[in-house]
């Protein structure tokens, strides 16, 4: 028996490849499926099953394309209605894979169809539980995502009962969840990407002895608003989507400057995926910066409209990676990329824009005399509450496409933007530029460096809480 966890950091997503005696099961595959096919070929094995733990909301699964290419059977748990052919497993039903078996354990709560898969080894002993979004390391799946008309409290009640099943497993059984730290599918996932039943019973707040009522309160309080692209992805996973090869072929069209400009005139959005530090030094006017070096796909899903044409500026050689990562969250209207990248635009003498970078100590100096200075902190609310510059205005990045949130900033204000480390602030600056603001400065290093400046007026976490 062979088990491999394939982890994608920018989505905090874990998929699994399990092989036994020449047969393979893939659990919760990403949309770019070649790696699973290649692994199967290396093992001289065939992909027999594609197990889906639920309708994912944070990424588009590769289940449909993988099934078409390999003939593997797509397996969902009970109550899963889809727009494509699949097999609905009954609760406790077993599936043989080589010399091992999987058992479907219906665990509604995160969603109604959520199902864990218990792997029995060659000796018919429970070895590992693939938990999807039902159980994470240190957390559980949020119960407020797209399950009909049920309230989050009702779903949390289902989740409580589902976890009682899981707690009956032997403590040495490994726990392999669908997500790790940073995922929006839970509240506060632990730092590791796997665990054991025993470790989770000992440390996970959701598995501690408590009444159902107390559990419901614990898992429903403090939930942030789910990212706006979640329902889009959930619908694609449930109903079907365009073949990734078709999207890739279209997106890998190299556009001349004239063709690129024509797409812009036709209302295409310019997405620049170069490093944030490169973007500020020069970019095509109205381009949105979302650099590949950060949580690229997630921020694209949050900030860019779906089913709207995109044209790309990428580092040369990064075109395919960019498109692959966009398809993972459901973008399928990628028209092409600028041949020769940004340098070709510069060499042609086309108009450019830039964002001024400033060091944190320069911000401190300017605060002493600039009466029109506005410090814009684009971190999340909880980050802001953990400590911030005394006069800063908190407008989280995920809200900035709403023009109304910037209505209190005047055209002649000098806006200094920062986040935690410098990635999100450049995205925010590009959005503000596109919305017509031009007196913008990006604070290098973000709050991580700002708080190190001597005599910088800060509000500490304890002061915020008081």
What topology does CATH give the domain 242-347?
Answer: Oxidized Rhodanese; domain 1 (3.40.250)
Say yes or no: domain 2-232 is CATH 3.60.15.10: yes
Q: What pLDDT score was predicted for residue 463?
A: 45
Q: List the one residue out of 216, 201, 194 whose CA is nearest residue 165.
A: 201
Q: What is the mean pLDDT of residues 428-453?
A: 96
Band the pLDDT of 165: cuts 50, 70, 90.
very high
Strands 458-460 and 269-272: unpaired
Radius of gyration of the chain (CA): 24
19: CB partners within 8 A, 6+ apart: 1, 2, 39, 40, 43, 45, 98
Q: Is the pLDDT of residue 466 over 50?
A: no
Residue ranges of domains in the chain: 2-232, 242-347, 356-465
DSSP string of 449-466, one letter each residue = HHTTSTT--EEEHHHHH-
Q: Do domains 2-232 and 356-465 have the same CATH topology?
A: no
The mean of the pLDDT values for the chain is 95
pLDDT digits (tens, 9 = 90+) for 361-370: 999 999 988 8
Say whether pTM exceeds 0.75: yes
pLDDT digits (tens, 9 = 90+) for 45-73: 999 999 999 999 999 999 999 999 999 99
What CATH code would you report for 356-465? 3.40.250.10
Q: How many CB atoms lie within 10 A of CB 351?
A: 7
Q: What pLDDT score was predicted for residue 411?
A: 85
Question: Any long-range contacts for 367-370 (C-beta under 8 Å, 24+ apart)?
Answer: 367/391, 367/457, 370/414
Q: How many CB atoms lie within 10 A of CB 202?
A: 12
Band the pLDDT of 371: cuts 50, 70, 90.
confident
pLDDT digits (tens, 9 = 90+) for 245-272: 999 999 999 999 999 999 999 999 999 9
Band the pLDDT of 146: cuts 50, 70, 90.
low
Percentage with pLDDT > 70 across the chain: 98
Band the pLDDT of 150: cuts 50, 70, 90.
confident
Band the pLDDT of 465: cuts 50, 70, 90.
very low
């Amino acid at each position: 028996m062979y088990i491999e966890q394939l982890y994608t950091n920018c989505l905090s997503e874990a998929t699994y490849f399990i092989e036994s005696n020449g047969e393979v099961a893939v659990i919760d595959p990403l949309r770019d499926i070649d790696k699973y096919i290649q692994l199967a070929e290396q093992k001289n094995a065939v992909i027999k099953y594609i197990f889906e733990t639920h309708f994912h909301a944070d990424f588009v699964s590769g289940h449909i394309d993988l099934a078409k290419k390999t003939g593997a059977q797509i397996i969902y748990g009970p109550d899963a209605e889809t727009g494509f052919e699949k097999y609905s497993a009954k609760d406790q039903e077993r599936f043989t894979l080589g010399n091992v078996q999987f058992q479907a354990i219906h665990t509604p709560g995160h969603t109604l169809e959520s199902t864990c898969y218990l792997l029995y080894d060659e000796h018919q002993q429970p070895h590992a539980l693939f938990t999807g979004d039902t159980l994470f390391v240190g957390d559980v799946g949020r119960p407020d995502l797209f399950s009909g008309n049920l309230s989050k409290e009702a779903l949390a009640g289902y989740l409580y009962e589902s976890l009682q099943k899981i707690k009956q497993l032997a403590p040495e059984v490994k726990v392999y969840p669908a997500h790790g730290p940073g995922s929006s599918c839970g509240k506060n996932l632990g730092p590791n990407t796997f665990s054991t039943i025993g470790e989770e019973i000992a440390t996970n707040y959701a598995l501690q002895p408590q009444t159902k009522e107390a559990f419901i309160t614990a898992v429903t309080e403090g939930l942030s608003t789910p990212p706006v692209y979640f329902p889009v992805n959930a619908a694609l996973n449930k109903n079907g989507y365009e073949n990734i090869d078709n999207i890739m072929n279209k997106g890998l069209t190299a556009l001349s400057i004239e063709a690129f400009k024509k797409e812009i005139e036709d209302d295409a959005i310019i997405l620049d995926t170069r490093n944030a530090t490169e973007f500020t030094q020069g970019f095509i006017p109205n381009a949105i910066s979302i650099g590949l070096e950060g949580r690229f796909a997630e921020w694209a899903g949050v900030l860019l409209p779906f089913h709207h044409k995109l044209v790309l500026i990428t580092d040369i050689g990064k075109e395919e990676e960019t498109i692959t990562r966009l398809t993972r969250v459901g973008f399928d209207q990628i028209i092409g990329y600028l041949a020769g990248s940004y340098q070709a635009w510069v060499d042609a003498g086309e108009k450019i824009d830039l964002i001024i970078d400033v060091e944190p100590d320069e911000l401190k100096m300017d605060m002493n005399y600039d009466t029109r200075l506005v410090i814009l902190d684009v971190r999340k609310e909880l980050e802001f509450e953990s400590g911030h510059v005394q006069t800063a205005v908190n407008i989280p990045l995920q809200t900035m496409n709403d023009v109304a949130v910037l209505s209190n900033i005047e055209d002649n204000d000098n806006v200094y933007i920062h986040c935690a480390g410098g990635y999100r602030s450049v995205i925010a600056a590009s959005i503000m530029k596109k919305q017509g603001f031009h007196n913008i400065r990006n604070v290098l290093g973000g709050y991580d460096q700002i708080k190190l400046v001597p005599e910088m007026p800060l509000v500490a976490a304890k002061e915020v809480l008081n």
